[in-house]
Amino acid sequence: MTPEELQRYSRQIILPGFGTAGQQRLRGARALVVGAGGLGSPASIYLAAAGVGTLGMVEFDTVERHNLHRQILHSDAAVGRSKLESAEARLREINPHVRFTGHADRLTAENARRIFKEYDIVVDGSDNFATRYLVNDAAALCRKPLVYGAIFQFEGQIALFAPHLGGPCYRCLFPEPPPPGAVPNCAEAGVFGALAGTVGSLQALLAMRQLAGIGEPPLGQLMRFDALRWRTTRFTVPKNENCALCGAAPSITDLDPARYAPAACAAPTPTNADTMNSTAGSETPMEITAEAAHDRLADDDPPVLLDVREPFEVEIGAIDGHRHIPLRQLPEAYETLPRDRPVVVYCHHGMRSLRAAEFLRAKGFARAQSLAGGIDRWSTAIDPAVPRY
């Protein structure tokens, strides 16, 4: 390292356990950041500033003004320009020692493995499910550690997935993408810029630890940050022996383009027209309070209580007597619900269940309702024995 580099990195070199050896490992490392957006911006800025030797980036889009509040790589003057070029210019300003490799393409099933092979680690800054599953599958097939990050409204998630090191993959946690439109994107749901900054920075931190070889890789741990309730939760994610990608008998052994159709993220949500038609003539409001739902369960005609959360959430706690169908499986499984009874759908905070209730109404379940505030509200208002998370 040159005296200039020693000076530049001195405050991390003096960290116990990091030292010049850690810095040298970073210098020799190749990190790929997928996307120059809300997560990719802070992640790539910190990786570049820290002196990662080669920084690759996959990005095909242009800078848009409504993304600037979280995509801090890009300036107002770059609106309308290539995000990749804007990112490269900014990262070179931050640290001219870093070799920047831009991949000016959409990540596809055809190019993902070829690109991933060139790197030691992949940082996922994608913002849609099709790309997220593609990144997960390609990283696992290339045996590259994957730093996963995702944000939704006030919630962020971070994990290191490395099935080749014995940990689970993203599919162990969420086997299949949710149905098109079941989960709103940032454009519909909103997001705090600083939350993207928090999650992207944690991704950079995880990648640096991994590349420098310090700390234990947090395999099988999903960290969740709730920016509104100011709470961090850590979930243990076991490896799923039946995982289609990293299980004992995997069915996903190559990247089939059909599996990652972009339509999976671009498809519209159930339209308002559908919802309005399905609720026309119905007196039942879309949401029901925990108190009212509790009363209804004692009725002569009690509702079916449908839990649309993920299995690992149900394990934490559920409402007695519930039926469990994760939201992503609802399009295949809704026919198993009785049509002659009211349905009260619940999730964690009432967002997924609202989508599910809208979906059910569009399928003719005129009395489907969403439990406002989700199981969290149930726990505070009705049954404190149900754990909050």
| Residues that bind Zn ion in the complex, under the rule CB under 5 A | 169, 171-172, 243, 245-246
Minimum distance of Zn ion from residue 250's CB (angstroms): 8
DSSP for 124-151, please give it.
E---SHHHHHHHHHHHHHTT--EEEEEE
Q: Identify whether 186 is a catalytic site residue.
A: yes
Assigned token pair, 45: 């800025």
- Select 247 or 374, whichever has its Cβ closest to Zn ion: 247
Which is closer to Zn ion, CB of 74 or CB of 171?
171
- 193: tokens are 């810029």
Measured from the CB atom, the residue of 140 and 183 that comes closer to Zn ion is 140
Is 243 a known active-site residue? no
Q: Locate all alpha helices (DSSP H) within 95-128, ordered by sequence.
A: 112-116
Least CB distance to Zn ion at residue 148 (A): 12
Which residue reads 């810029």 in tokens? 193
Please say whether the beta carbons of 31 and 56 come within 8 A. Answer: yes
CB of 175 to Zn ion, least distance (A): 8
- Rounded least distance, CB 216 to Zn ion, Å: 20
The residue (of 33 and 245) whose beta carbon lies closer to Zn ion is 245
- In this structure, what token pair is assigned to residue 83? 């995000």
Provide the CB-side half-sphere exposure for 65 (13 A, CA).
2
What DSSP assignment string belongs to 256-314?
-GGGG-THHHHSPPSPHHHHHHHHTT----SEE-HHHHHHHHTSSSPPEEEE-S-HHHH
**Min separation Cβ 141 and Zn ion, Å:** 12
DSSP β-bridge partners for residue 219 = 160
Nearer to Zn ion, 67 or 157 (CB): 157
- Give me the catalytic one of 142, 172, 246, 347: 347
In whole angstroms, how far apart are CA 301 and each of 174, 245, 304?
Answer: 34, 43, 9
Catalytic residue among 142, 186, 243, 265: 186
Catalytic center residues: 186, 347
